[in-house]
Structure 1
């Protein structure tokens, strides 16, 4: 695949899913009436007999996918992140407890559904999903990483929560030469004085902040942590020891999300001062995802502010 050939995250997802469907006839797609919005509709156009729309009934969607997994199919659930949480009980009991091979590939996570407001903005889903035994949780940084990681996700045995946004996908990993592995973090930029760690599109702000911090004489590492569970403990510990300071950034609540997962490693392996950037409340309506990230301080300016606090 050509990394970075799709600007939109959901476009990258839909088109990559079709390619995977051509290679593996056991892949089936299930959605709750959001095929067009998630771009799972591309799969429907190519493989209509392997595409199932259950309507606005997320609990049935999960149980139907679990049944398909139980008979050897490879179900890919394509849905909005927020409304997938409506079926958390079924995800836990039917998929998690039975360790079934269902992939929950969700879009419109975080603030990406900016126009529809807080009712559609999933800011708690990573926290909810990483508590379920057997589940892995992955958050690709951009469209290029979707292309790079989705084939690995589909081939992996067992349940996975794969979290994406909608359109906004600033270039973060485009052009990088690495093979995606579940459970591995990636160094976007090396540094000695401070480490910024995070997942998703906000890593663009982390790189922008690191560039400005370098101008101030602060050598700043930026670490992409796409796998929240199982998390790369070795890389986190290494940069805790190397830099002695960590700022985490995420498009999610700071309670139980990416920063919390990183802190759980740091406090056990090598405690260092940390700062956490993310959501602390519900979202709101806006004209764009970028507008909301700036409104809630999940941006380069706030990363720099927190970094300077740690450097005092």
Structure 2
């Protein structure tokens, strides 16, 4: 971070897009509308956060299939479970903190235990808001990974989200989507990529370093790979948008080598992508050291997103520095 650079974003609904970067407005809302036009079973629900989870796009297109449940997250998911029992396909949106912390029992016993097709849509995952611990869902994947039957998706960009939505609707069991909303960066269109539920993809090869990433950190990993090339470091990037079930075959094929291996995630280093990859490697008998890049095991500060991403190691510059230190 250069001195004199003025870093500022709205603390609540901030964009992590770089200045001038290509973005797509409300990809989740528009993808849900497209899916609903093809499938009349799809309904949308939210807990007073339609505008802030891009569910308002669906509400405008299908007012008779949209349900505003108010500030009652347990009711939101209980109602979604009831709708799924009747054969509907609910997408229920709130902030990730409220889904994971406030409504866990309802998601677990009403939705996951009977294995219903309810799609939990969580806004502000990880460090995508500057509002502090009450809104920063830094541990949501750690909370949800232990829930049987639940599929967890951590999309990188608008391409991931647009392609994931219809696949989530078709998936018979419950899902949790770490939503990126508003003007979402469009990155993966340049990498001959298609989202496949349950699959990881090698976006670029590299002889020296492997970055295994999910969520917005895949965008940062790709940027870091470009910058590291100027240091004559050849970096592979493996995008893992589905955290559970985990595509061990694709990822471990990259881990099992003499290259430097790091994981990159917008989540605490406890219980997320790093521990998923490390656990899979140990079970397979792979002894490669894996270095985590992620959020620390602490409650984070409030502030502007660029400043926070730099402070907590999620910025591209911090990834580059970490790789160079480890080589």
What's the TM-score once normalised by structure 1's chain length? 0.92
Deviations 1:266-293 (A, max 9, x none): 2222220111111112222223x33321
Q: How many residues align?
A: 303
Deviates more, 1:16-25 or 1:289-298: 289-298
Match of 2:36 among 6, 12, 21: 21
**Structure-2 separation of matches of 1:165 and 1:293:** 16
SS for the counterpart of 1:126 is helix
Counterpart residue number, 2:13: none
Does residue 1:111 correspond to 2:135, yes or no?
A: no
Contact in 2 for aligned 1:244/1:273 (Cα 8 Å)? no
Q: How does 1:187-202 map to 2 (within 5 A)?
A: 187-202=202-217
Counterpart residue number, 2:9: none
Counterpart residue number, 1:144: 159
Tell me which protein shows more helix as a share of its residues: 1
Q: How far has the Cα of 1:214 moved from its partner? A: 2.5
Counterpart residue number, 2:109: 93
Counterpart residue number, 1:272: 288
The answer for unaligned runs of 5 or more in structure 1 is 1-5
Distance 1:215 1:243, change over 3 A: farther
Distance 1:208 1:179, change over 3 A: closer
Q: How far has the Cα of 1:178 moved from its partner? A: 3.3
The answer for unaligned runs of 5 or more in structure 2 is 1-21
**Structure-2 separation of matches of 1:290 and 1:255:** 23
Contact in 2 for aligned 1:192/1:242 (Cα 8 Å)? no
Contact in 1 for aligned 2:214/2:273 (Cα 8 Å)? yes
Counterpart residue number, 2:320: 304
Distance 1:201 1:75, change over 3 A: same
**Structure-1 separation of matches of 2:181 and 2:280:** 30
Counterpart residue number, 2:307: 291
Counterpart residue number, 2:17: none
Contact in 2 for aligned 1:236/1:265 (Cα 8 Å)? no
Contact in 2 for aligned 1:195/1:240 (Cα 8 Å)? yes
Q: How far has the Cα of 1:107 moved from its partner? A: 1.5
Deviates more, 1:85-94 or 1:159-168: 159-168
Deviates more, 1:62-71 or 1:261-270: 261-270
Contact in 2 for aligned 1:198/1:259 (Cα 8 Å)? no
Distance 1:206 1:292, change over 3 A: same
Q: How far has the Cα of 1:184 moved from its partner? A: 0.8
SS for the counterpart of 1:119 is coil
**Structure-2 separation of matches of 1:305 and 1:26:** 49
Counterpart residue number, 2:271: 256
What's the TM-score once normalised by structure 2's chain length? 0.88
Deviates more, 1:85-94 or 1:210-219: 210-219
Deviations 1:32-83 (A, max 9, x none): 0111111111111121111111110100111100011111110111111111
**Structure-2 separation of matches of 1:246 and 1:48:** 48
Distance 1:71 1:209, change over 3 A: same
**Structure-1 separation of matches of 2:258 and 2:186:** 26
Distance 1:266 1:310, change over 3 A: farther
Counterpart residue number, 1:34: 49
SS for the counterpart of 1:152 is helix
Q: How far has the Cα of 1:236 moved from its partner? A: 1.4
Counterpart residue number, 2:176: 161
Deviations 1:220-246 (A, max 9, x none): 101110000111111111111234431
Contact in 1 for aligned 2:96/2:125 (Cα 8 Å)? yes
Deviations 1:238-272 (A, max 9, x none): 11123443111111100001111111112222220
SS for the counterpart of 1:261 is helix
Contact in 2 for aligned 1:80/1:106 (Cα 8 Å)? yes
Contact in 2 for aligned 1:185/1:227 (Cα 8 Å)? yes
